[in-house]
Amino acid sequence: MKAEEINKLYFGDVDKPVRTLDRRDFIKKLGGGLIIVFSLSSLAFKSSKEDDHDKRSDDASDLNAYLRIREDGKVDCLTGKIEMGQGIITSLAQVLSEELEIPLEDINMVMGDTDLCPYDAGTWGSLTTRFFDPLLRAAAAEAKVELILLAAKELKVDADKLQTKDGFVVVKSDSKKRISYSDLTKGKKIVKTVSTAPVLKKPSEFRTIGKPIISTDAINKVTGKAKYSADIQLPGMLYASIKRPPAHGATIKTINTIRANEYEGATVIHEGELVAVLHENPLIAEEAAVKIKAEYDIPESKADDKTIFEHVLKTAGFWKNTEEKGDADKAFESAQFKFDRSYYDGYKAHASIETHTATATFEGDKLVMWVSTQTPFGTRKDVAETLKMPIEKVHIKQIFIGGGFGGKIYNQQAIECAQLAKLSGKPVQVAWTRREEFMYDMFRPAAVMKIKSGVNKEGKISAWNYSIYGAGPRGTQDFYNVADLKTGIWGNPDHPFGTGAWRAPGNNSTTFARESHIDIMANEIGMDPVEFRLKNIVDDQIKAAVNLACKTFGYKSAKTGKNRGCGMAIGLDAGTIVVLIAEVEVNPSNGKVTPLRMVCAQDMGQVVNPHGATVQTEGGLTMGLGYALWEDIEFNWGEVKTRNFDTYEITKFTTTPPIECVFTDDMETPPQGGGEPAIITVGGAIANAVFHASGARVNQMPITPERILNSLE
């Protein structure tokens, strides 16, 4: 799509009254053409590797996306999913282009608009490609069948003598006899529901799937035309500056807003705990908000960043054993070599460069919003409930999202913005400052993992007793083929502030623990860690990925040079197998770690857009170095002290090593997750690399110089 077209599609009616679409009869109100409707529940095309964890993702009873071949032959793909940098605006169009036989540039992606798009629970869990690719392809195949039937009538040729190509239905024996999709759909309105599995193209017939494609939204992004929530500027709009308490859980004791009221044009809002200044100049709003004087009751501190792990262990409640085979306790007692270790992972911020933002305006009795959210439909519901409005009176519109990583599933800022728009009667924008972003992030939770394991001298793991406090079970299913095993989950520890999903929730913490522990066992019995892994793994696909990683890396041994070493970690997430080998150098005098190289092999089934999958993997690995080595939140209970990038160190240009991504060639199996999986392996691979480079075994992330030096003492 051309930049202006995208802008027209997204923002064409910013300044005009917004059209109201009632979702219950959206089909009636759509224009003409051929419309394909499909629902997750009616189809059995789901990924074969999905696990229970992922089933919550979509409401199976709802219509889930649809496509429409317009009367001009262009195709609208309407989906409740959103684009936040993960590239589905390109890969979904690519899939449609393939199956429907139309040029990529003829596809309009309409995403995350709660009036135009059917319900979607949220963009998370690396689900889009796994769930929507098969569905979109099915819808496209259904549309093709319908187009061929229409063409058979028009051309007076039997349907089986026709095929589709580049937006035309063509007579197989005479390619000059053809009719375009637009000629077939003009003046018609046909609605088809996909109910049975249609015949899809075979991988050997693919012309577009599997080909690297440059992102279709790139031009908008490099020219500054791509609009994010804060870029929406409405006539008469007021910017909000919210007076924040010093700590989570603090409540207002006394408040004085008189000095804020002295600013000309300032609207001061005080409704319960929500205190804000609104002004058409954001700088004045900010200045006036500083003048509000308030005293707070602050809850007593129960823990800080030093003592939090004891608190997590004390307050987490036992949930269930998620996996149990044989007798793990007995096997541990009788093991030849015993290992009993604990691993720790602190809170991590999502730290998207775009802070949480929302812009809202009332159009009559309808509230229209542009929100930096991964969950437009959830946001709509939350806003409607807060303002006690009917849900159909809230419209969340399509917008680019400046990074999410799980952090934009939660939308406190949208609720604040909606409340302020209602109370002030004016269009309002709430754009959190970076300080607010760090305060109100829904952090990746602090977690403790305890592993008691046994191994014999041949290198066979004989016992595995895995206790997880606060990280959950995602990705913890055993693939080391241990006969006597138990994995127990303790959940809901008492956190000082909000916690939530962070790119591959829980799996970063638990993969770090498991893969560190595997490395420790291999080392203690004097076996190469890769050989040790291959000795215990039975799954051929995982073995193949390990071998591919080793071959690509040129793996010989874990020690790679003076002060240098490499480490491996294997992880499973969202149906994808990830194997990472990371090489680092550790300065023995100051403990500084320099990442030198990362090689990542993945089995993600069919790779729709190898280019996009590579970009996602590189991004995940780069981001992952941050949590492994530097990112840490300092706090005293609800008072978050790390409030900006000067103290929250994320990966930078100079700390990103060369990264190589390879995929096992598996075009015949359904596509699996791509946005999240790779990142889970970074902590373990780096911890192991640091050990082999320096001899320091650090059992807590981030793996800081201080912890490395302590371990070496």
Q: 151 and 598 in contact (C-beta within 8 Å)?
A: no
Does the protein bind another protein through residue 319 (CB under 8 A)?
Answer: no
Nearer to another protein, 85 or 475 (CB): 85
Residue 310 Cβ vs another protein, minimum distance, rounded to whole Å: 31
What strands lie across the sheet with 168-171, from one edge to the other?
162-165, 168-171, 174-180
Number of residues that bind another protein (CB under 8 A): 60
Pattern of binders to another protein over 87-106, x per CB under 8 A? Answer: x-------------------
* Residue closer to another protein (CB basis): 332 or 627: 627
Question: Which DSSP string do the residues of 189-208 spell out, in sequence order?
Answer: EEEEE--S-PPPPPGGG-SS
Tokens at residue 253, please? 């004791």
We find the least distance from the C-beta atom of residue 292 to another protein, in angstroms, to be: 19
For the chain, the distance separating the N- and C-terminal CA atoms, rounded to the nearest angstrom, is 59
Shortest distance (Å) from residue 357 CB to another protein: 9
CB of 625 to another protein, least distance (A): 8
Choices 31-39, 295-303, 411-419, 653-661; region in contact with another protein by CB under 8 A: 653-661
Binding mask 106-125 for another protein (x = CB under 8 A): --------------------
Q: How far apart (Å, rounded) are the C-alpha atoms in residues 321 and 386?
A: 38
- Which pair of tokens denotes residue 713? 């003492």
Contact track, another protein, 277-296, x by CB under 8 A: ----xxx-------------
Residue 332 zone, left/alpha/beta (φ > 0; ψ -120 to 50; rest): alpha
Q: Which is nearer to another protein, 245 or 612 (CB)?
A: 612
Instruction: Tell me whether residue 262 or residue 524 sits nearer to another protein (CB atom).
Output: 262
Alpha helices in 441-569 (DSSP H): 507-524, 529-536, 540-553
Interstrand relation of 559-561 and 564-573 (parallel, antiparallel or unpaired): antiparallel
Q: Write out the binding residues for another protein, residues 220-239 only, by CB under 8 A.
A: 220-228, 230-231, 233, 239
Nearest to 47 by CA among 579, 576, 664: 576
Q: Which stretch binds another protein (CB under 8 A): 173-181, 265-273, 344-352, 413-421?
A: 344-352
Show Cβ contacts of residue 275 under 8 Å, excluding neighbours closer than 6 positions.
242, 243, 252, 255, 257, 268, 269, 292, 294
* Shorter beta-carbon distance to another protein: residue 85 or 118: 85
Whichever of 345 and 354 has its CB closer to another protein, that residue is 354
Binding mask 595-624 for another protein (x = CB under 8 A): ----------------x---x--xxxxxx-
CA-to-CA distance for 407 and 441, rounded, in angstroms? 7
Min dist CB 589 to another protein, Å, is 23
Task: Give the C-alpha separation, 469 to 446, whole Å.
Answer: 9
Q: Phi first, then psi: what are they for 101, rounded to 5°?
A: 60, 55
**Looking only at residues 383 through 402 of this chain, which bind another protein when binding is defined by CB under 8 A?**
400-402
Q: Are 545 and 602 in contact (CB under 8 A)?
A: yes
Residues 412-441 contacting another protein, CB under 8 A: 431, 433-435
Return the residues of window 200-219 that contact another protein according to CB under 8 A. Answer: 214-215, 217-219
If one asks whether residue 663 binds another protein (CB under 8 A), the answer comes out as no
Whole-angstrom Cα distance, residue 536 to residue 515? Answer: 13
Q: Shortest approach of another protein to residue 119 CB, angstroms? A: 24
Residue 320: DSSP 8-state? E
**Which positions touch another protein (CB under 8 A)?**
84-87, 214-215, 217-228, 230-231, 233, 239, 281-283, 350-355, 400-405, 431, 433-435, 611, 615, 618-623, 644-646, 650-654, 656, 658-659
